[in-house]
Amino acid sequence: MRPMKSKPPMQQAGHILKDVFGFDEFRHNQGEVIETLIDGGDALILMPTGGGKSLCYQIPALVREGVGIVVSPLIALMQDQVDALRQLGISAAFLNSSLDARSRRRVEQDLLDGALSLLYVAPERLLMPQMLSILDRVEVALFAIDEAHCVSQWGHDFRKDYQQLSVLHERYPQVPRVALTATADTRTRREIIEQLDLHRAGQFISSFDRPNIRYAIGEAVNAKSQLWDFLEREHRDDAGIVYCLSRKRVDEVADWLCDKGRIALPYHAGLSQEERRLSQQRFLREDGMIIVATIAFGMGIDKPDVRFVVHLNLPKSMEAYYQETGRAGRDGEPADAWMLYGLQDLITLRQFVLDTDAEEKFKRVAHQKLESLLGLCDLIGCRRQALLAYFGESREEPCGNCDNCLRPPQTWDASEYARMALSCVYRTGQGFGVNYLIDVLRGKADDRIRRNGHDRVSTFGIGKEQSAVQWRSLFRQLISQGFLDLDSGGFGALCLNGKCRPLLRGETGLQLRQQKPREKQAKKREKKKPIQTRNQGLFDALRELRTEIAREQGVPPYIIFHDKTLNEMAEQQPVTLEQMRGINGVGEQKLQRYGERFLGLLCGQSPTGLDHGPEAENPVSLTVFQPDTEQ
Ligand code: ADP
Ligand code: ZN
């Protein structure tokens, strides 16, 4: 589909946004980026996941003469990206190692014929002399360098090929280039500019906030049943990811969820490549699927309607937490980032830092990163403010969309119990782990304790009225706040940190967050489900129709329509194609292809028991819209 080239370029861009993509307005600074590129300038774009980076190069590629070349390392995603564009009526293709020679030649011929608007290509393929010589002969609208942080030697995704992409500028100085990434830090940004020679590029930096993600962090008491309550309460039919630390735990949680009646698939490095590929494919193509995974899962997952990301263990750092939770809600609809953590996580991660044979400098950094994360967990204020502050962004007001904002945590004066715990560590000689210490505090005179003579220390049995769970919570917070250290011996023994002296002497007190009552409150709270329409039944029916069409076409359902679009349909219940066109995410092509089928459902063969209001009686007006001839 080629727009008319006569209109002013930004007006064309606006029409493409509406007619091709079906969106009403630009998000973030999409408009400015698009204008820069159309005018022939270079751009560097930093936008969070789900911010809408793709439109930034797709629209200018359609407005400018020639083909837009998109460089991406994520070859597994190219098929879906191209399918999505074709659904919109845009002629797109990809070139990577997965194509056989014949398909490759066909794409190259299309390229030479000027038949493509967008071409996705892997960096190593683009840099081949044969490919460059083809590019010499065609008109190129722009180069988009996606995942541009891959040029960074220090990042985890470094690609050598990416550093050679500066050749594009040398060889095609007239062609605008846009580099895109969701990695925020300034060092990476500097490297991208340096390596790709983008010194004169406009920089477009968006806030890294993901306002539609609701952050919640709680203490694990009975993790599985807490998880089940959460899923039942908030996400009965939604797709999501559950992260666990070990493979064994992944298998166990996936099995357990299946027993409870959800469809949950395991994903970890212990499975064969084929098993992993199948799990990933089902996750993308079927509705309401849960993936239970170690962190091996996620890179290159572009599913827009992941409604929750659960952590059943602490991630390694704030960076990891933000990246993993960022896979939720890419479509901008409400999503949950929900984490449980416990004492054992803390001990495991602390031990992990202690045990690495890395040099001191590295250990210190790893230690600080863990501390920041623990700070986030035990925080009493707004989680989003803390998260953004960690990434160098300050936010004036609390967000109103995290657990602490929604239900300010209660604090309690833990000074007395903290003193008991600390002196118990001291009296028993600073050589024992949490469980042992709790037994002493609660006065359990078993053989081991008697043998050690710890049934005779002054702290024996002084904490009977606190349950073991309450003591564990207290110990966890004493460790996370640095009053207690883990002994480097590797057996989880605790010793006192100098920091606890004023507390032990009674010079300072200690306020801690109340953990238990909040859990109960959480159960009671009335909260609407994320994708809650006034018409859940109709929404489900629309979703079924979408699945049916997606199956016919062999694409993931979200490529047909996003949840957000179905949600709007269920709310507004359009009865004519013209009304349907007003729905967010319905462009001309999709209106032509699927408009009538969805109207059929909305107007007539709707599931029983649905109230469609007075308009439901109206006949479907198919005359309003005159489809163009196929191009
Ligand atoms: P990113 O690459 O930055 O993670 P995408 O380009 O995949 O994000 O866009 C995320 C989602 O937002 C997509 O589903 C896209 O269709 C949608 N989107 C992008 N721009 C707009 C807009 N201006 N209005 C509405 N939806 C948009
Ligand atoms: Zn908040």
Query: Residue 255: is its pLDDT beyond 70?
Result: yes
Distances (CA, A) of 168 to 127, 142, 157, 162, 188: 9, 10, 21, 11, 20
Binding site membership of 47 for ligand 1 (Cβ less than 6 Å): yes
Give the ligand whose atoms come closest to the C-alpha of residue 584: 1
Please provide the DSSP assignment of 144-165 as one string: EE-SGGGG-SSSTT--HHHHTT
Strand pairing partners for 177?
143
Residues linked to residue 189 through DSSP beta bridges, in sequence order: none
Q: Which atom of ligand 1 is nearest to the CA of 49?
A: 4
Q: pLDDT value at position 534?
A: 58
**Adjacency order of strands within the sheet including 202-205:** 92-95, 118-121, 67-71, 140-145, 177-181, 43-46, 202-205
Domain(s) labelled CATH 3.40.50.300 in the chain stretch across 9-205, 213-406
- Tell whether the model's pLDDT for residue 628 goes beyond 50: no
CATH code 1.10.10.10 region(s) in the chain = 411-513
Higher-pLDDT residue of 417, 302: 417
Judged against a pLDDT cut of 80, whether residue 446 lies above it is answered with yes
| Averaged pLDDT, 51-56 | 93
Which is nearest to 500 in space by CA: 562, 424, 566, 387?
424
**Domain 9-205 grouped into CATH 3.40.50.300:** yes
Determine the Cα–Cα distance for residues 570 and 362; give it in Å rounded to an integer.
53
DSSP letters for 213-236: EEEEEEE-SSHHHHHHHHHHHH-T
- Within 10 angstroms of residue 592's Cβ, the number of other Cβ atoms is 15
Q: Measure 383 CA to ligand 2 centroid, in angstroms.
A: 5
Q: What is the pLDDT of residue 346?
A: 83
Point out the least confidently predicted range of 118-122, 230-234, 340-344. 340-344
Q: Which residue is closest in CA terms to ligand 1's atom 18?
A: 52
Q: What is the mean pLDDT of residues 13-20?
A: 96
pLDDT of residue 605: 55
Closest atom of ligand 1 to CA, residue 304: 14
**Ligand minimally distant from the alpha carbon of residue 87:** 1
Ligand 1 mutation pick, 26, 55, 205, 206, max ligand atoms within 8 A of CB: 55
**Span from the CA of 56 to the centroid of ligand 1 (angstroms):** 9
207 burial type by CB count under 10 A (0-12 exposed, 13-18 middle, 19+ buried): middle
Can you give the pLDDT at residue 86? 96
Q: Report the alpha-carbon distance of residue 236 to residue 260 in Å, rounded.
A: 12
pLDDT band at 526 (very low <50, low <70, confident <90, very high): very low
Radius of gyration from C-alpha coordinates of the chain:
28
Q: Ligand 2 center to residue 396 CA distance, Å?
A: 11
Q: Where does 536-616 sit in CATH, by number? A: 1.10.150.80
Does any ligand 1 atom lie closer than 6 A to the CB of residue 330? yes
Q: Which ligand is nearest to the CA of 29?
A: 1
Q: Nearest ligand to the C-alpha of residue 303?
A: 1
Mean pLDDT of 247-261: 96
Give me the half-sphere count of Cα atoms (radius 13 Å) on the Cβ side of residue 251: 5
What local confidence, expressed as pLDDT, does residue 518 receive? 43
**Ligand 1 atom showing the smallest separation from residue 53 Cα:** 3
| DSSP code for 179 | E
> Which residue among 18, 26, 27, 178 is best mutated to probe the pocket of ligand 1, counting the most ligand atoms within 8 A of its Cβ?
27
pLDDT at 363: 74
Give the global pTM: 0.77
pLDDT at 64 over 60: yes
Name residue, tokens 């960076």.
319
Ligand 1 binding pocket includes 57 (Cβ within 6 Å): no
pLDDT per position as a tens digit, 162-192: 989 999 999 999 999 999 998 767 778 888 9
With H, G, I as helix, E, B as strand and everything else as coil, classify residue 500. helix
Atom 15 of ligand 1 has which residue's CA nearest to it?
Answer: 52
564 lines ligand 1 (CB under 6 A): no
pLDDT of residue 141: 98
Is the pLDDT score of 382 beyond 90?
A: yes
Which band of pLDDT confidence, cut at 50, 70 and 90, is reported for residue 57?
very high
Q: Which of helix, strand or coil describes residue 495?
A: strand
CB-based burial, 510-540: b 16+ in 10 Å, e otherwise: bebbebeebeeebeeeeeeebbebebeebbb
52 C-alpha vs ligand 1 centroid, how far in Å? 3
Residue 306: CB within 6 Å of ligand 1? no
Indicate whether residue 23 lines ligand 1 (CB < 6 A).
yes
Mean pLDDT, residues 421-447 taken together: 94
Q: What is the mean pLDDT of residues 431-449?
A: 93
Q: Atom 9 (ligand 1): residue with closest C-alpha?
A: 52
Element (H, E) at 484: strand 484-486
Structure confidence by residue, pLDDT tens digits, 533-584: 458 889 999 999 999 999 998 889 999 999 989 999 999 999 999 999 999 9
Per the DSSP assignment, residues forming a β-bridge with 519 are none
CATH architecture of the domain formed by 411-513: Orthogonal Bundle (1.10)
Residues in the chain: 631
* Cα–Cα distance measured from residue 409 to residue 396, given in angstroms and rounded to the nearest whole number: 20
Strand-pairing partners, residue 118, are 68, 92
Interval between CA 369 and ligand 2 midpoint (Å): 21
State the pLDDT at residue 607: 44
* Residue 25 Cα: closest atom of ligand 1: 23
CA of 53 relative to ligand 1 center, distance in Å: 7
Q: Is 55 exposed, middle or buried (0-12, 13-18, 19+ CB in 10 A)?
A: buried
Domain 213-406, CATH class in plain words: alpha beta
- Quote the pLDDT of residue 300: 65
Lowest mean pLDDT among 77-91, 274-288, 344-358, 602-616: 602-616
Whose tokens are 């998880």? That residue is: 227
- Give span(s): CATH 1.10.150.80, the chain: 536-616
Instruction: Kindly report the average pLDDT of the chain as a whole number.
Output: 87
Say whether pLDDT at 5 is over 80: no
Quick count: other Cβ atoms within 10 Å of Cβ 456? Answer: 11
Q: 207 alpha carbon to ligand 2 midpoint, in Å?
A: 16
Q: List pLDDT tens digits, range 324-379.
A: 999 999 888 999 999 999 888 888 887 777 777 767 767 777 777 787 888 899 88
Q: What is the mean pLDDT of residues 320-325?
A: 90
What separation in angstroms does the CA of 279 have from each of 240, 256, 265, 273, 419? 13, 17, 6, 10, 50
The pLDDT score that the predictor gives to residue 442 is 96
Is it the case that residue 199 has pLDDT exceeding 80?
yes
Helix 343-355 to helix 468-480 angle (10° resolution) is: 40
Contacts of 223 (CB under 8 A, 6+ apart): 312, 340, 342
More confident residue, 158 or 194: 194
* Cβ 586 under 6 angstroms from ligand 1: no
Residue range 239-256: mean pLDDT, rounded: 95
**Whether residue 155 has pLDDT greater than 90:** no
Q: Whose CA is nearest to atom 20 of ligand 1?
A: 52
